[in-house]
């Protein structure tokens, strides 16, 4: 009997998830199944658009992975709601003899139009003898591929412009220029322009003297909005933003993106994605709801933000639907019952 009830609940749960998926409704905080029905594993991720397709890269944290390696998964989508698993784009071994506890986090992929290469940036970290803590190596890693879904080949690790680097974020401006955002503790976080071949960093745009992780940027109606979280590890905190008319600054004071007590609804920023359609533009807050002791079950908070005139606001998460063509979105769309 109990088994029967459990099966019915599982079935109902799965149908709801698949229903959400087929109706292309994005459900913040819920399990987000891919085309195979498996929960999407793309934590601390980044997204790029190539032709008509979006590619979502992230930390692959499914159970049963070979613990000798770290994996980056890749998914593709034409509408940002239903995602096809493209496989593990990167399978990487400990690059610099860091030991079994080495860390690969927050992969971000940039497409270089000139070289036609996909260049993946990684936060590579791990313990270092004589220094306390598991995140002492503080470097950036690079892997390269000829195709968006990989296989990516590891190339090198380094300290960007000679600085420590932990959380990384990506920003591609409207003119196509690519930037890396990296956390350089204890100074703050830096925004730097990638070199012509994307294999390194060419120029620092600014240092924002604010302890911030999960750095994200969007350019909207003539203003740059930078967003990030405080340094509380896997625990959620009130994420904050600032604005400037140029990436070089000066940046405004930081303000909360949601009510402080909501702690960003349990999420940490990873990216701000701008979808420009035929009629309007939607900017999506893309964040992670981490579950440190069951990382494979960490969730995503994707939600359109209210943005403009120097204000950025993340509303209460609710189901929503994007119109990829017009760029518009509907919050709480009517439920369509498909058999
Ligand atoms: C977070 C960071 C994550 C991960 C975690 C480890 O602040 O954004 O990517 O490094 O700390 O505690």
Mutate to test the pocket of ligand 1, among 46, 104, 167, 168 (most ligand atoms within 8 A of CB): 167
Whether residue 263 has a cis bond before it, omega within 30° of 0 = no
- Residue 112 belongs to some domain of the structure: yes
- Whether the pLDDT of residue 194 is over 60: the answer is yes
> Does ligand 1 come within 6 angstroms of the Cβ of 167?
yes
Q: Average of pLDDT values for 249-256?
A: 98
**What confidence tier does 1 reach under pLDDT thresholds 50, 70, 90?**
low
Q: Mean of the pLDDT values across residues 57-62?
A: 98
Closest CA to 90 of 109, 77, 63, 76: 109
Q: Is residue 219 predicted with pLDDT exceeding 70?
A: yes
Asked if residue 150 belongs to a domain, the reply is yes
For residue 73, the surrounding DSSP H or E stretch is strand 69-77
Q: Is residue 337 part of a domain?
A: no
CATH of the domain at 195: 2.115.10.20
Q: Ligand 1: does its nearest atom lie under 6 Å from the Cβ of 99? A: no
Let me know if residue 339 belongs to a domain: no
Q: Is the CB of 263 under 6 A from ligand 1?
A: no
User: To which residue do tokens 């955002």 refer?
Assistant: 181
Q: Is the CB of 183 under 6 A from ligand 1?
A: no
Q: Is the CB of 105 under 6 A from ligand 1?
A: yes
Query: In the structure encoding, which two tokens stand for residue 283, read together?
Result: 């900017």
Per-residue model confidence as pLDDT tens digits over 142-185 = 999 999 999 999 999 999 999 999 999 999 999 999 999 999 99
How far apart are the CA of 257 and the centre of ligand 1, in A?
Answer: 19
Q: Is the predicted pLDDT of residue 188 greater than 70, yes or no?
A: yes
In which domain, by residue range, is 205 found?
A: 2-331
Q: Give the residue, by CA position, lying nearest to ligand 1 atom 1.
A: 233
Q: How confident is the model at residue 22 (pLDDT cuts 50, 70, 90)?
A: low
* Residue 237, token pair as written in the block: 């905190």
Q: Quick one: pLDDT at residue 2?
A: 53
Number of separate domains in the chain = 1
Tokens 């000139």 — which residue? Answer: 114
Integer Cα distance of 308 and 225 in angstroms: 10
Q: How far is the CA of 96 from the centre of ligand 1 (A)?
A: 21
Cα(234) to ligand 1 centroid in Å equals: 5
Neighbours of 82 (CB within 10 A): 18
pLDDT exceeds 60 at position 251: yes
Q: Is the pLDDT of residue 338 over 70?
A: no
pTM for the model stands at 0.93
Q: Is 56 part of any domain?
A: yes
Whose CA is closest to atom 11 on ligand 1?
Answer: 233
> CA-CA distance, 191 to 205, in Å (whole number)?
5
Please count the residues of the chain.
339
Query: For the chain, what is the mean pLDDT?
Result: 94
Is residue 226 predicted with pLDDT exceeding 80?
yes
* Residue 14, pLDDT above cutoff 90: no
* Ligand 1 neighbourhood includes 228 CB (under 6 angstroms): no
Q: What share of the chain is helix, strand, coil (3-state, %, to 5)?
A: 10, 45, 45
Average pLDDT of 247-255?
A: 98
What pLDDT does residue 10 have? 45
CA of 233 to the centre of ligand 1 (A): 5
Q: Which of 83, 76, 71, 201 is nearest to 148 (CA)?
A: 76
In a domain, 338, yes or no: no
Atom number of ligand 1 nearest to Cα 213? 8
For residue 336, being part of any structural domain is answered with no
pLDDT at 13 over 50: no
| Residue 19 reports pLDDT greater than 70 | no
Pocket lining: 11 vs ligand 1, CB cutoff 6 Å: no
The predicted pLDDT at position 23 comes to: 85
Residue 220 to residues 60, 78, 132, 243, Cα–Cα distance (Å): 31, 22, 41, 10
Best probe residue, ligand 1, of 213, 216, 229 (max atoms within 8 Å of C-beta): 213
Q: Which atom of ligand 1 is nearest to the CA of 231?
A: 7
Ligand 1, atom 7, lies closest to the CA of: 233
Residue 11 pLDDT greater than 60, yes or no: no
**Is 156 a domain residue?**
yes
Q: Is 287 in the pocket of ligand 1 (CB under 6 A)?
A: no
């Amino acid at each position: 009997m109990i088994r029967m009830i459990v099966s019915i609940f599982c079935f109902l749960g799965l149908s709801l998830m698949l229903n959400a998926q087929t109706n292309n409704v994005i459900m913040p905080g819920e399990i987000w199944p891919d085309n195979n029905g498996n929960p999407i594993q793309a934590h601390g991720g980044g997204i790029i658009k190539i032709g008509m397709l979006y590619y979502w890269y992230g930390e692959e944290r499914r159970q049963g992975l070979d613990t000798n390696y770290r994996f980056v998964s890749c998914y593709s989508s034409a509408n940002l709601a239903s995602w096809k698993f493209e496989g593990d784009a990167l399978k990487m071994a400990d690059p610099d003899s860091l030991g079994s506890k080495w860390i690969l986090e927050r992969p971000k992929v940039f497409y270089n139009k000139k070289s036609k290469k996909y260049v993946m940036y990684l936060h590579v970290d791990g313990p270092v003898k004589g220094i306390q803590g598991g995140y002492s190596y503080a470097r950036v890693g690079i892997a390269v591929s000829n195709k968006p879904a990989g296989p990516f080949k590891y190339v090198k690790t380094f300290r960007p412009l000679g600085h420590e680097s932990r959380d990384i974020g990506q920003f591609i401006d409207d003119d196509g220029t690519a930037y890396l955002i990296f956390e350089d503790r204890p100074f703050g976080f830096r925004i730097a322009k990638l070199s012509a071949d994307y294999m390194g960093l060419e120029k620092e745009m600014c240092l924002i003297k604010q302890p911030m992780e999960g750095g994200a940027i969007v350019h909207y109606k003539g203003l740059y909005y930078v967003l990030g979280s405080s340094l509380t590890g896997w625990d959620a905190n009130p994420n904050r933003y600032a604005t400037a008319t140029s990436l070089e600054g000066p940046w405004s004071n930081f303000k909360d993106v949601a009510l402080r007590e909501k702690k960003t609804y349990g999420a940490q920023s990873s990216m701000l994605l701008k979808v420009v359609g035929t009629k309007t533009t939607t900017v999506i807050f893309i964040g992670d709801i981490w579950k440190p002791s069951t990382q494979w079950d960490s969730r995503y908070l994707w939600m359109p933000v209210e943005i403009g005139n120097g204000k950025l606001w993340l509303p209460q998460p609710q189901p929503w639907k994007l119109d990829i063509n017009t760029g518009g979105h509907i919050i709480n769309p009517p439920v369509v019952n498909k058999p």
